[in-house]
């Protein structure tokens, strides 16, 4: 089988983890990392770090996966790549558990050890990092980042560009009244969310309280 050429956008720690995640994937040949700040000859985990111009010139048909944790940066990079017709595969670690009743959008990454149950709708360029659980009837809109060890209970709807910090827990909503997280909300590491977060801002603590608002 001919493997599809793939570059990972980003060259930091998470990008290297995505290379690991893809290492047993039979469909893609990872050619390297893309960095907007690369140095000549730079390597990461044995792969070259190139700039975006290089990829445009040498691999204009390739697939790109964006491994940058910050939601808004990821959105900007996705829009740039999309305008040039690069393809975005959906990437899952081979060891994750997924039911048949899940849709996951282009560019999204589900990392090792995660468990997603049923009737789940995940948008584009969403990251679900290591060892997360996502319960029934959850929606996660595009560009949202779910950090390692997060537990999202059933009937929770996360908006776009949400950042959920490591080890946060979000308790369940109901079918008639889902627990909703507004676009652009940041949930600090270790927070426990007990009710909808409707104001765009940073929430932290147990239970999670609004610490500051964003424009």
Ligand X SMILES: CC(C)(COP(=O)(O)OP(=O)(O)OC[C@H]1O[C@@H](n2cnc3c(N)ncnc32)[C@H](O)[C@@H]1OP(=O)(O)O)[C@@H](O)C(=O)NCCC(=O)NCCS
- Is 148 a residue that touches ligand X (CB under 6 A)? yes
Q: Given the complex with ligand X, which of 55 and 122 has the nearer CB atom? A: 122
Residue list 150-209, contact with ligand X (CB under 6 A): 165-166, 186, 188-190, 202, 204-205
Q: Given the complex with ligand X, which of 137 and 160 has the nearer CB atom? A: 160
DSSP tag of 87: B
- Is 82 a residue that touches ligand X (CB under 6 A)? no
- Give the binding-site size for ligand X (rule: CB under 6 A): 13
Q: Taking CB under 6 A as the rule, which mask of x and - marks residues 119-138 in contact with ligand X?
A: ----------x---------
Q: Given the complex with ligand X, which of 49 and 111 has the nearer CB atom? A: 111
Q: Given the complex with ligand X, which of 61 and 213 has the nearer CB atom? A: 213
CB 29 within 8 A of CB 119: no
* Residue 214 burial class via C-beta count within 10 angstroms: exposed 0-12, middle 13-18, buried 19 and up: exposed
**Could you say which of 38, 133, 147, 155 contacts ligand X (CB under 6 A)?**
147
**Could you say which of 43, 53, 211, 214 contacts ligand X (CB under 6 A)?**
211
What percent of the residues of the chain are helix, what percent strand, and what percent coil, each to the nearest 5?
15, 35, 55
3-state SS track over 111-134: CCCCEECCCEEECCCCEECCCCEE
Compute the Cα dihedral for 168, 174, 178, 179 and give only its sign.
negative
Minimum Å gap between C-beta 87 and ligand X is 26
Q: Quick count: other Cβ atoms within 10 Å of Cβ 46?
A: 8
- Is 113 a residue that touches ligand X (CB under 6 A)? no
Q: What gap in Å lies between CA 175 and CA 155, rounded to an integer?
A: 6
Q: What gap in Å lies between CA 166 and CA 128, rounded to an integer?
A: 11
Minimum Å gap between C-beta 199 and ligand X is 15
Residues that bind ligand X (CB under 6 A): 129, 147-148, 165-166, 186, 188-190, 202, 204-205, 211
């Amino acid at each position: 089988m001919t493997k599809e050429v793939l570059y990972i956008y980003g060259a930091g720690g998470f990008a290297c983890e995505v290379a690991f995640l893809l290492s047993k994937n039979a469909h893609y040949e990872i050619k390297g990392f893309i960095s907007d700040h690369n140095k000549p000859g730079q390597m990461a985990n044995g792969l070259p770090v190139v700039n975006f111009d290089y990829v445009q010139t040498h691999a204009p048909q390739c697939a790109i996966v964006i491994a940058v944790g910050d939601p808004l940066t990821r959105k900007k990079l996705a829009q740039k790549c999309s305008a040039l017709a690069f393809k975005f595969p959906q990437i899952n670690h081979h060891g994750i558990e997924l039911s048949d009743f899940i849709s996951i959008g282009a560019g999204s990454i589900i990392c090792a050890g995660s468990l997603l149950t049923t009737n789940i709708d995940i948008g584009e360029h969403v990251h679900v990092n290591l060892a997360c659980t996502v319960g029934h009837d959850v929606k996660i809109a595009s560009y949202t980042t779910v950090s390692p060890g997060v537990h999202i209970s059933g009937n929770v709807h996360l908006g776009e560009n949400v950042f959920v910090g490591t080890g946060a827990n979000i308790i369940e909503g109901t079918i008639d009244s889902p627990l909703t997280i507004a676009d652009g909300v940041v949930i600090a590491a270790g927070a426990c969310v007990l009710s909808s977060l409707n104001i765009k801002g940073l929430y932290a603590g147990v239970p999670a309280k609004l610490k500051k608002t964003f424009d």
